[in-house]
């Protein structure tokens, strides 16, 4: 369950108004909170009716049937009366799970709280809060209050621009074959070749070493998940916009276990401790997830068509951490994860900015999300490489990951079950990392390999151009001709 239903029950110490405000901050209808409350009251009223009927059955049994049986008198009328009440109980017990399911479905639409640092806005271009710039721009020397600042009002000298974009560079170093990939697997498909494969594997291996040195446990998860487990983690719209369903015969003869390909290792690692109880002395737990990821990108039609920045299949190194159920602890862990990502990209020589996303851009689970956006010199733009989210206990409730000891809270109506806080942060989606690396370290005749990657590149320090620019596609040639006519 994403949030505890007791958070909306004022008679149990809940604060429905607080949740209405959080929904407003997310630009979602606060009335959804009232819909949950109404359905919960309906469930509670029916539960009370059933309990009263049970008392009635006990009373008939005790006060009418038992005395007559002892006196060896006929009690058929009383038994019939009891059976009629029992039939009413059965009706209500049939209805109760349906009302509970309806209530829980509505409850699943309620998002997490919103962290006080998050800008309340639905305009990310204007109001995303820039909290860090690397390298520090010249303006910072004369203005120590330059940051944090809303993105739309922040003025500073942008990093250096360079002539070629990643798709051209990857082609010139002989690193990929997009047309042949599309012939095999359709839109956004590609073959990585030679230098492209080496860069991809080098980033994976460097990422493993980088996080391993920081105490992370390395995990390579299943690339498929059962639908019921995926549904306890992913939002409903993810099934339509992101997730690929696995079809065909499986080892399940009845076909009852539907499976979906993962969009990120965050999803299976979230369920790694499913239904477990983790002692606080064991926390924090830090995992580095290494996986291939599969995404439909259904909402990205026409965006980033060239190259490998936005594709259906890619590799990713993910940070995933669990902490105790203490907001200060998980907030500190989020900063630590972000710092790890910044160190990683500094070591690769990338320029970047870190932004705290506006409330409208938060998914239901996250209370705060930082994006690290690297500077792409060829595109002359910042592009997202990292998302770092604190989901507190929202995801843990869905997969039943408890923390702490089993305390005795009997009689305490305001008591809450303790669930671990879960946090996730990209370290590197390798395709995007390659894109930025190529644009950042391009020269007139090739690409310089960052020093930290050279041990994973068979000692290579430079990737020379082995061919000229790629030919334009038919569509691009047509667009170019149309542009000239104008």
pLDDT digits (tens, 9 = 90+) for 42-77: 999 999 999 999 999 999 999 999 998 998 889 889
Q: pLDDT by residue (tens digit) across 358-405? A: 999 999 999 999 999 999 999 999 999 999 999 999 999 999 999 986
- Tell me the pLDDT band of 265, cut-offs 50, 70 and 90: very high
C-beta separation of 458 from 362 below 8 A:
no
Q: pLDDT tens digit string along 197-252?
A: 999 999 999 999 999 999 999 999 999 999 899 988 887 677 777 899 888 766 66
Q: Is 472 exposed, middle or buried (0-12, 13-18, 19+ CB in 10 A)?
A: exposed
Quickly state the pLDDT bin for 413 (edges 50, 70, 90). very low
Whose tokens are 């739309």? That residue is 152
* pLDDT (mean) for 122-131: 97
Contact 147, 130 (CB under 8 A): yes
Distances (CA, A) of 392 to 92, 112, 309, 428, 467: 36, 8, 30, 23, 50
- Map tokens 């390298």 to a residue: 135
Check residue 442 and report its DSSP letter: B
pLDDT of residue 483: 60
- In 3D space, the residue among 168, 176, 203 whose CA is nearest the CA of residue 378 turns out to be 168
pLDDT category at 481 given cuts 50, 70, 90 is low
The DSSP symbol for 275 reads T
Q: Give residue-wise pLDDT tens across range 306-319.
A: 889 999 999 999 99
Return the closest-CA partner of residue 402 out of 284, 281, 278, 286. 278
Nearest-angstrom CA–CA distance, 17 and 30 = 9
Tally of residues, the chain: 486
What is the rounded distance in angstroms from the CA atom of residue 132 to the CA atom of residue 352? 8
Catalogue the long-range contacts made by 465-471 (C-beta closer than 8 Å, 24 or more residues apart): 465/172, 465/173, 466/172, 466/173, 466/174, 467/171, 467/172, 467/174, 468/172, 469/168, 469/171, 469/172, 470/167, 470/168, 470/171, 470/178
CA nearest to 78, candidates 62, 94, 91, 99: 62
Element (H, E) at 130: strand 129-134
SS (H, E, C) 86-106: HHHHHHHHHHHHHHHHHHHHH
The strand ranges marked E within 366-420 are 368-376, 381-390, 402-403
DSSP line for 242-258: TPPEE-S--S-TT--S-
Confidence at 477, pLDDT banded by 50, 70, 90? low
pLDDT at 373: 98
């Amino acid at each position: 369950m994403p949030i505890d239903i007791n958070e909306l029950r004022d008679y149990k110490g809940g604060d429905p108004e607080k949740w209405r405000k959080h929904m407003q901050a997310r630009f979602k209808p606060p009335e959804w909170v009232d819909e949950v409350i109404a359905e919960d009251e309906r469930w509670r009223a029916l539960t009370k009716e059933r309990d009263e009927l049970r008392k009635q059955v006990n009373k008939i049994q005790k006060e009418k049937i038992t005395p007559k049986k002892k006196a060896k008198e006929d009690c058929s009328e009383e038994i019939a009366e009891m059976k009629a009440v029992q039939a009413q109980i059965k009706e209500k017990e049939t209805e109760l799970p349906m009302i509970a399911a309806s209530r829980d479905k509505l409850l699943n639409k309620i998002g997490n709280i919103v962290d006080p640092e998050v800008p309340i806005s639905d305009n990310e271009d204007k109001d995303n809060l820039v909290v860090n710039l690397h390298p520090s721009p010249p303006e910072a020397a004369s203005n120590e209050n330059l940051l944090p600042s809303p993105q739309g009002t922040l003025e500073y000298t942008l990093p250096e621009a360079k002539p070629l974009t990643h798709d051209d560079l990857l082609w010139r170093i002989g690193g990929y074959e997009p047309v042949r990939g599309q012939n095999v697997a359709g839109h956004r498909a590609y073959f990585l070749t030679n230098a492209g494969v080496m860069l991809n594997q080098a980033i994976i291996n460097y990422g493993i070493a980088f996080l391993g040195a920081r105490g992370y446990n390395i995990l390579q998860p299943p690339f498929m998940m059962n639908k019921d487990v995926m549904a306890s983690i992913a939002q409903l719209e993810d099934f339509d916009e992101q997730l690929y369903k696995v079809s065909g015969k499986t080892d399940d003869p009845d076909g009852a276990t539907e499976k979906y390909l993962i969009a990120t290792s965050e999803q299976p690692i979230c369920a790694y401790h499913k239904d477990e109880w983790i002692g606080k002395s064991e926390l924090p737990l830090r995992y580095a997830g290494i996986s291939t990821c599969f995404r439909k990108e259904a909402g990205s039609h026409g965006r980033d068509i060239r190259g490998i920045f936005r594709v259906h299949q890619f590799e990713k190194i993910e940070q995933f951490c669990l902490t105790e159920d203490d907001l200060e602890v998980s907030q500190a862990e989020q900063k630590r994860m972000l710092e790890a990502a910044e160190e990683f990209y500094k070591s690769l020589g990338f320029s970047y900015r870190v932004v705290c996303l506006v409330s409208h851009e938060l998914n239901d689970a996250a209370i705060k999300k930082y994006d690290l956006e690297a500077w792409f010199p060829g595109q002359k733009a910042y592009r997202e490489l990292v998302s770092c989210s604190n989901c507190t206990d929202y995801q843990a409730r869905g997969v039943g990951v408890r923390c702490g000891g089993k305390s005795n809270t009997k009689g305490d109506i305001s008591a809450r079950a303790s669930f671990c806080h879960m946090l996730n942060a990209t370290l590197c989606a390798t395709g995007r990392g390659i894109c930025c690396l190529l644009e950042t370290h391009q020269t007139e005749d090739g690409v310089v390999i960052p020093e930290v990657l050279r041990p994973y590149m068979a000692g290579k320090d430079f990737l020379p151009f082995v061919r000229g620019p790629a030919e334009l596609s038919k569509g691009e040639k047509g667009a170019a001709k149309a542009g000239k006519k104008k």
